[in-house]
Chains A and B, each alone.
Chain A
Amino acid sequence: MSEDYKWRYGFFLGCVIPNRYPMIEASIRNVFDYLGAELLDLPGASCCPAPGVFRAFHIPTWFVIAARNISIAEELGVSPITGCNGCYGTLRDAWYELEHDYDKKKEVNEYLAKIGRTYKGNFEPKHVIQAFYLDMGLDYLKDFIKLKFSDLKVAVHYGCHIVKPSEKRPWNGEYEAPRFLDEIVEITGAKSIDYKDKYMCCGAGGAVRTAVKEVAADFTREKLVNMRDAGVDIIINCCPFCHLQLDLGQVEVNNFYGDVIGEPFHIPVIYITQLLGVAFGMDPNLLGLIKNHELQGVSPFISIDPFLNIVKEQLI
């Protein structure tokens, strides 16, 4: 480990972060570096594989591909870390189950031997939020805060797999009303606003988005209505698939359900490291907040300008 770093992880990118929301990748990389945590690349890592689709198609495939991904981090002597609840669900559940099932682990290793790899299970897969809250701790993060919001109302969206199944997660069994993400948000001076059914699923996961987009969007509609009723300025989340569903999904909700929602939705969706970064006083360019291109039909689909205006008014 280089002397300057206090922590070191293997950055498991997954699919949606690098290939649809690269601004999230940029913000995680730069915020971790800023906090003194080194992120190593995991060369040749694949899809986690996604728990709602590929695990639902074939559990044995899910196990061996997940074990291969974890083994890449093990070779580097680090925990794989992900910014995605879906990848977290896969890597952590596969790891947990393999560590509790000797025969399964042996079988998985017989497959991995065919490609010259071994899965050991000696490095716990982690989530970015887990690194912030449990490895670094709130007090450590607070020391980096240079600027504070004076009036920013946030709808915090946890997503599902960051807390469930709770026995396979590091939050002491809490899943009905966790607070860790709200606490991280609030060190920036922003206020986490309670809204109805705050812990409800965004609707994208479990193969639902690919199966029937309208059903996924109806979950999202319900969440958005509750968020708007609570009067929030922005949505903060910790999963790129929720992020996609809340961002692109707003466009879909506006299209599919325009007749029932009244005004169309346009709530900026911001990833947690982007919010933390601006409060740390980091350059918004490093946080993927500044658009530098003329591309059409790319993320973010809902303008984040209202958030950038709040940043300008309150922080600079």
Chain B
Amino acid sequence: MSENVEKYIKRKVYKSTSSRIAQKFVDAGLEKIRACINCGTCTGSCPSGRRTAYRTRSAIRRALTGDESVLKDIDIWLCSTCYYCYERCPRDIPVTDMIIKLRNIAVEEGYILDSHFGLANDIFYATGHGVPATGENNKKWRDLRESYGLPPLPPTVHSYPEAVKECQELMNAVGFRKLLDNAAKLKEERAQAAKKDKEE
């Protein structure tokens, strides 16, 4: 990235902006956003923005200006990844991919919803499936499979315990375990701080 772009991303100093976060935006390759001409095609194409306060262009803008508040908003989690903005952006900015990268940084900073954390930690990491059929709660789904002439468990990680181990080994090596543990720690710290604030 050119020096100018780097300067531009770090230039605007919002109250909540830390240059550490601005640096993360730079490292994630969000400089493509610099081509944005603020036309609003993304927002205008967005089925989520039609019913929520999420505004694609504005999220993109905040990322470009290094405004870290974009990471805390639930907004970036309301993108359904329909790819309309990505396809229609007249400046060829891969908008959806930029949102995905923002979410990666949000998780790194511990901004992840409880429901998403549970899905990643208790389900995906533990079983290798995002929607599992194991466990007592899911017996009805195994029975349902059998009612259609299928084995109770599919020939996936569910039938190969060593495959779950393989996936976990990969997730550990690539940093997923550490990422989740760190997010859990940051979430807990924030919860404690909020509790203390309230008491005071």
Give the B-binding residues of A (Cβ under 8 A): 13, 15-16, 18-20, 22-23, 25-26, 41-47, 49-61, 64-65, 68, 111-112, 114-115, 117, 160-161, 164-166, 175, 200-201, 203-208, 210-212, 215-216, 218-219, 222, 288, 291-293, 295-299
Is B47 touching A219 in the complex (CB atoms < 8 A)? yes
Is B48 touching A164 in the complex (CB atoms < 8 A)? no
Is A50 touching B130 in the complex (CB atoms < 8 A)? yes
Q: What is the size category of the interface that chain B forms with chain A? A: 35 or more
Is B78 touching A20 in the complex (CB atoms < 8 A)? no
CB-defined A-B contacts under 8 Å, sample of 22: A19-B129, A19-B154, A22-B141, A44-B166, A46-B129, A46-B156, A47-B129, A49-B124, A52-B80, A52-B81, A59-B104, A60-B175, A64-B173, A115-B169, A164-B83, A164-B87, A206-B80, A207-B103, A207-B116, A210-B115, A211-B113, A299-B144
Is B131 touching A44 in the complex (CB atoms < 8 A)? no
A204, A207, A296: which contacts B140 (Cβ < 8 A)? A296
| Chain B residues with CB below 8 A from A47, complex form | 124, 128-131
Is A57 touching B103 in the complex (CB atoms < 8 A)? yes
Is A293 touching B169 in the complex (CB atoms < 8 A)? no
**A-contacting 9-mer, from B19-27, B56-64, B145-153, B191-199:** B145-153
B80, B138, B145, B147: which contacts A219 (Cβ < 8 A)? B80
Residue of B138, B150, B159, B167 contacting most chain A CB atoms (<10 Å)? B167
Is B116 touching A211 in the complex (CB atoms < 8 A)? yes
Give the A-binding residues of B (Cβ under 8 A): 47-48, 50-52, 74, 77-84, 86-87, 94, 96, 100-101, 103-104, 107, 112-113, 115-116, 119-120, 124, 128-133, 138, 140-141, 143-145, 147-150, 154-157, 159-160, 162-164, 166-167, 169-171, 173-176, 179
Distance from B136 Cβ to chain A, minimum over Cβ atoms (Å): 14
Q: How many A-B residue pairs have CB under 8 A?
A: 214
Top 9 closest pairs, chain A to chain B, by CB: A44-B163, A206-B81, A164-B83, A18-B154, A44-B160, A201-B82, A46-B128, A15-B131, A19-B133
Q: A18-B145, A61-B174, A114-B173 are in contact. List 15 more A-B contacts (CB 8 A).
A: A18-B150, A25-B148, A25-B154, A42-B156, A51-B81, A57-B104, A64-B170, A114-B169, A164-B82, A208-B48, A208-B77, A211-B115, A219-B51, A293-B147, A295-B147
